[in-house]
A and B are shown apart, each in its own frame.
Chain A
Amino acid sequence: MSWELESVSVRFGDLLAVDNASLSISEGELVVILGPSGCGKSTMLRVVAGLQQPDSGRVLIDGADAVALLPHQRSIGLMFQQHTLFPHHDVAGNVEFGLRMAGVAPAQRAQRVRDLLVLVGLGGFESRDVATLSGGEAQRVALARSLAPNPALLLLDEPFGSLDRGLRDRLTDELPQVLAEAGTTAIHVTHDHDEAFSLADRLVVMEAGRILRIGPPGEVWADPGTVPVAEFMGHHNIVTRGSRLEVIRRDAATVAADGELEGVVTASRFRGDHHDLTLDTALGELRFRVGEAARVGERVRLRIDPSRVALLNPVS
């Protein structure tokens, strides 16, 4: 199956939450929509799910207009930031809900619930009261619940946003495996670029309702194309050299006596396997990650690897 958003716009009063966005997703892909909070990425998901009607534009499923389809007719799984487990059901009752809706027989439901709980690492949790689960466990149950009816498309709206760092990293590691095992296509929304990099087959960068860039994460990072995307990728060194607007990656510099760029170290931080230097240079304040130590106030020369410099389009 394939999904396509065609020039979708959503307006909330004066706010254009989604501005003429087009995006297509093909089967088996994990697409990550990355953007600051309030950029319209959750609204995009809601449009795909049918929970939000677009003011203009179309949603196509396998090329057919899906506007008339209600959420429960779209074969979609959805996970929110705050787990939304049904308080009046136990863990198994939650996971099997979608199967019940699809009219699956009880024996098969029980089997599927068992398998899915094992898949998300919660084997044997069937009869637990959802109120007794920890945040991470609740999110895993929510994941199992969305996967249970075998949705054609899984929508993940910052599913790890409410968890602490360690748990989030672990689930970020596990999620692609779980999805691959289940063979599920997914759209994942986040504002965390580390999470986006480690999950995405394809990255969609959004700001203020507009899609700025679509591409594989490595490519988007190495060649952001525009200033806002570069900034959002965590790049700091955006400089003008001659008539060229460039982004210099923080791993582009090495300390060398014959380096072409000279600067005074204004801050130096030891990071274990590297040092983060902030330098005052003719191009402005730059930050680099280098192997050699340098003291504050020291004057150093740096060699810049041209393959780690990307040209930016001055008009975003």
Chain B
Amino acid sequence: MDGPVGRNSSRIAAFAARWAAVGVPAVFLAAFFVYPVTAILWRGLAEEGLGPMSDLFASPRTRGVVWFTVWQALASTVITLVVALPAAALVSRLRGRRRHLIRGLVTVPFVLPTVVVAGAFEGVFFRLGLDQGDLRLRHTVWAILLAHVFFNYAVVVRIVGSFWSGLDHHLEEQARVLGAGPLRTFWAVTLPRLRPAIASACAIVFLFSFTSFGVVLLLGGPRRATLETEIYRQAVTRGDIRSAAALALLQLLAVLALIAAATRLERRSPAPTGVAHRPPKPMRREFAWANLAVMTVLLGSPTAILVERSLAVGDGYGFDHYRALTERVPQLPASAATALSTSLVFATAAAAMALTVGALTAFVVVHGRLSLRRIFDLGLTLPLGTSAVTIGFGILIALDEPPLDLRTSWWIIPIAHALVGTPFVVRTMVPVLRRIDPQIREAAAVLGASPGRVRRLIDLPIAGRGMLVGAGFAFAVSLGEFGATSFLPRRPETLTAPLALFRLLSTPGELLRGQAMALAVVLMGIVALSVVAIEAARGTGQDFL
């Protein structure tokens, strides 16, 4: 047993560890989130009061932007739900490897960089001749909605699918025995019980569509603007920082209101049980195949056409566009290949930072003092909801003067990416830590493990997979990050792959489009690989969404 001296020094160590766990995330958040957001508030409100702001909001352009932001998000949500619900049904009835495979494949679009998706749909429109004429989809609302469905399909499939498979299907069997047909049973017995999952999936899809940036910027064309792209237009294209700040403020308030509503919704509904019941009868074969057909057309064809376009050279096929990636083009400050390697380095640094901050936060959220738990939980939900554009814009206007001048620092980009990625680490780790039975920790304590050893020998190994999954997400997010990065200072050595892709895509001309497609394919490949790694590390039973 420890002597008085030993016990004292171990107490000091425990005290230091506790403060590091609280201090590191707190400082990180304060410097790179709270301070920038406050700076937006300051620019938007303080200097000239509410006058210019109310002028801005009274202008027809702003009203049009707000209206379009809301209705396209609403439309995206409804369409996604209708299209993806049958697939959720399919996933809920699959077990084992098949379920894993389908869930994994469906998730790939969700994590694809927005610019890659925009590039893929551009490719589709050109390939199928939908870029002009009567059936023009390019630069229409339909292009935006299509891309949003493509992205968010996985959200509905994963959230509703998992919840669905946790439901006791004996109720459906009971209803069938009592004389209800299959549709009636779905409507009267299944759907009401799915409501909490559907509500939370819809809330997330709506939030993502509401804050969608790259898709709107590239696919919507120059005339369509949401709040996000309007902030970008004001700040970057027109250089009107004050109007951008006012819009960012509006965006921030809207997102906070949405998150608050979603959280209330979640609280009122029971959590999914997660209990694996005996699998229900498999789905009718035709229905399953119809489902797979929809998935293939909706999710598969854009990626397939993207690959095809990247290989098309003149009338034949070849790797010319890929070879061109290493060459400098006048439109880019560095070659696409250099941008790719820059992105990989940034993603590694961002993932490491996000993992450190996120893991410490998750420990505090689960095992910290009650008051701290609430603050940390909220403090890290906010960046997840806050749009990347707001984060990038905040960093742009806040960190350009002492005490924190990071404008010329290489670190500013990985820090912004880490901020976007940290909530993913927290979100994956918190449920894993919560699921560790307190009695397991007590058993270890009684067997002689000190609180520190319980953390190291029980929590850490059990949550280790969750940490890897979270870090993998942060890595993938950083690789594809476009919204925040597009605000940050540009220099040849900080050109990221998504930014390079955006430049290539927005330059007219056949030659650069081919190179853009090749770059998109490479970026997609890397992100898809990290998702496969995540799915492998995740094992069974753990869900981020």
Given contacts A87-B462, A88-B461, A88-B462, contact A80 B439 (CB under 8 A): yes
Check if B450 is an interface residue, CB within 8 A of chain A.
Answer: yes
Point out the residues of chain B lying under 8 angstroms from A70, CB to CB: 445, 450-451
A101 interface neighbour in B437, B447, B451, B461, Cβ under 8 Å: B447
Of B444, B445, B447, B457, the most chain A CB neighbours within 10 A belong to B447
Residues of B with C-beta under 8 A to A146: 446-447
Scan B417-459; emit 1 where CB is below 8 A from any A CB, else 0: 0000000000000000000010110111111111101000110
Query: In the complex, A254→B440 CA distance in Å?
Result: 53
Chain A, Cβ-Cβ closest to B440: A84
Closest to B436 in A: A87
- Residue contact B447 to A98, C-beta cutoff 8 Å: yes
Option from B445, B457, B461, B462 in Cβ contact (under 8 Å) with A71: B445
User: How many Å from the CB of B131 to the closest CB on chain A?
Assistant: 54
Q: Is B271 an interface residue (CB 8 A)?
A: no
Distance of B435 from chain A, by nearest CB (Å):
10
Q: Report the Cα distance A57→B421, complex, angstroms.
A: 50
B12 at the interface (CB under 8 A from A): no
Q: Is the CB of B446 within 8 A of A72?
A: yes
Count: A-B pairs, CB below 8 Å:
65
Q: In the bound complex, what is the Cα–Cα distance between A142 and B461 (angstroms)?
A: 20
Interface membership of B1, Cβ < 8 A: yes
Which one of B443, B444, B457 lies within 8 Å of A80 (CB-CB)? B443
Known: A86-B458, A101-B453. A71 touches B439 (CB 8 A): no
**Are A78 and B462 in touch, CB under 8 angstroms?**
no
With a cutoff of 8 Å between Cβ atoms, the chain B residues found around residue A87 in the complex are: 440, 462
From known contacts A73-B1, A84-B440, infer whether A145 and B446 are also in contact, taking CB-CB under 8 Å: no
Q: Contacts A51-B442, A80-B443: A101 and B449 contacting too (C-beta < 8 A)?
A: yes
Q: Size class of B's contact patch?
A: 10 to 19
Residues from chain B with a CB closer than 8 A to the CB of A97 are 444, 447, 449, 457
* Chain B residue contacts of A73, Cβ below 8 A: 1
In the complex, the answer to whether B446 meets A86 with C-beta atoms within 8 Å is no
A contact residues around B443 at 8 Å (CB): 78, 80, 84, 86, 142, 145
Contact present for A86 and B445 (CB under 8 Å): no
Q: Which of A84, A86, A149 contacts B448 (CB 8 A)?
A: A149
* A142 to chain B: closest residue by CB: B443
Complex: chain A residue closest to B465, CB-CB: A88
Q: Would you call A47 an interface residue if the criterion is a C-beta within 8 Å of the partner chain's C-beta atoms?
A: no
Select which of A72, A75, A102 is within 8 A of B445 by beta carbon: A72
Task: Tell whether, in the assembled complex, residue A72 and residue B447 are in contact, meaning their CB atoms are under 8 Å apart.
Answer: yes
Q: B449: which A residues are within 8 A, CB to CB? A: 72, 97, 101
- B446–A71 CB distance below 8 A: yes
- Cross-chain contact A78 with B446 (CB below 8 angstroms): yes
Complex CA distance for A84 and B462, rounded to whole angstroms: 13
Please give me the residue from chain B that is nearest to A68 by CB atom: B7
Q: Does A226 reach chain B (CB closer than 8 Å)?
A: no
Cα distance A116–B406 in the bound complex, in angstroms: 61
Q: For the complex, what is the distance from the CA of A222 to the CA of B235, rounded to whole Å?
A: 88
Residues of chain B with a CB closer than 8 A to A102's CB: 448
Q: Establish whether residues B442 and A78, one from each chain, have CB atoms under 8 Å apart when the complex forms.
A: yes
Is A77 at the interface (CB under 8 A from chain B)? yes
Q: Is A20 an interface residue (CB 8 A)?
A: no
CA–CA, A281 to B439, complex, Å? 51
Contacts of B457 in A (CB 8 A): 97
- A77: chain B residues at CB < 8 Å are 446-447
Residues of A within 8 A of B446 (CB): 49, 51, 71-72, 74, 76-78, 146, 155
Residues of B within 8 A of A85 (CB): 440
Answer whether residue A266 sits at the interface, using C-beta atoms and an 8 A cutoff: no
The contact string, 1 if C-beta is below 8 Å from chain B, for chain A 284-298, is 000000000000000
Residue of B nearest to A148 (CB): B447
Interface residue A82 (Cβ < 8 Å from any Cβ of B):
yes
How far is the CB of A113 from the nearest CB of chain B, in Å?
13
Q: How far is the CB of A12 from chain B (nearest CB, A)?
A: 15
Q: How far is the CA of A82 from the CA of B437 in the complex (A)?
A: 10
In the assembled complex, the CB of B431 is this many whole angstroms from the nearest CB of chain A, namely 15
User: Which residues of chain B (243-291) have a CB below 8 Å from chain A?
Assistant: none
Is the Cβ of B439 less than 8 Å from the Cβ of A82?
Answer: yes
Cα(A74)–Cα(B449), bound, Å:
11
A residues near B445, Cβ cutoff 8 Å: 51, 70-72
Report the separation of the CA atoms of residues A145 and B447 in the bound assembly, to the nearest whole angstrom: 8
**Could you tell me the distance in whole angstroms from the C-beta of A147 to the nearest C-beta in chain B?**
11
- Chain A, Cβ-Cβ closest to B450: A72
A86 and B444 in contact, given A73-B1, A101-B449 (Cβ under 8 angstroms): yes
A98 closest partner in B (C-beta): B447
* Chain A residue nearest to B451 in the complex (CB): A70
Q: Considering the complex, give the chain B residue whose CB is closest to the CB of A71.
A: B445
A84 and B1 contact, CB distance less than 8 A:
no
B439 neighbours in A (Cβ, 8 Å): 80, 82, 84
A155 to B259, CA, bound (A): 46
A75 to B1, CA, bound (A): 10
- Chain B positions 446-497 with a Cβ under 8 Å from a chain A Cβ: 446-451, 453, 457-458, 461-462
A 119-157 to B, binary, CB cutoff 8 A, 1 in contact else 0: 000000000000000000000001001100100000100
Map CB proximity to B onto A86-108 as digits: 1 under 8 Å, 0 otherwise. Answer: 11100000000110011000000
Residues of B within 8 A of A98 (CB): 447-448
Q: Of residues 146 to 204 in A, which have CB atoms within 8 Å of B's CB atoms?
A: 146, 149, 155
Closest to A103 in B: B448
For residue B374, give the distance in angstroms from its CB to the closest CB of chain A: 20
Q: Which residues of A contact B437 (CB under 8 A)?
A: 82, 84
* Bound CA span A87–B540, Å: 14
In the complex the two chains form, what is the Cα distance from A74 to B1 in whole Å? Answer: 10
Which chain A positions have C-beta within 8 A of B442? 49, 51, 71, 78, 84
Name the CB-closest residue of A to B437.
A84
A-B contact pairs, 7 of them (CB 8 A): A51-B442, A70-B445, A84-B442, A86-B440, A86-B443, A86-B458, A86-B462
Query: What are the 7 tightest A-B residue pairs by CB atom distance, in nearest-first order?
Result: A101-B448, A98-B447, A71-B445, A78-B446, A84-B443, A84-B439, A88-B461
Q: Which B residues contact A (CB, under 8 angstroms)?
A: 1, 437, 439-440, 442-451, 453, 457-458, 461-462
Query: Which residues of A line the B interface, CB within 8 A?
Result: 49, 51, 70-78, 80, 82, 84-88, 97-98, 101-102, 142, 145-146, 149, 155
Given contacts A87-B462, A155-B446, 20 further A-B contacts (CB under 8 A): A51-B442, A70-B445, A70-B450, A70-B451, A72-B448, A72-B449, A72-B450, A73-B1, A75-B448, A77-B446, A77-B447, A80-B439, A80-B443, A82-B439, A84-B439, A86-B440, A97-B444, A97-B457, A101-B449, A146-B447
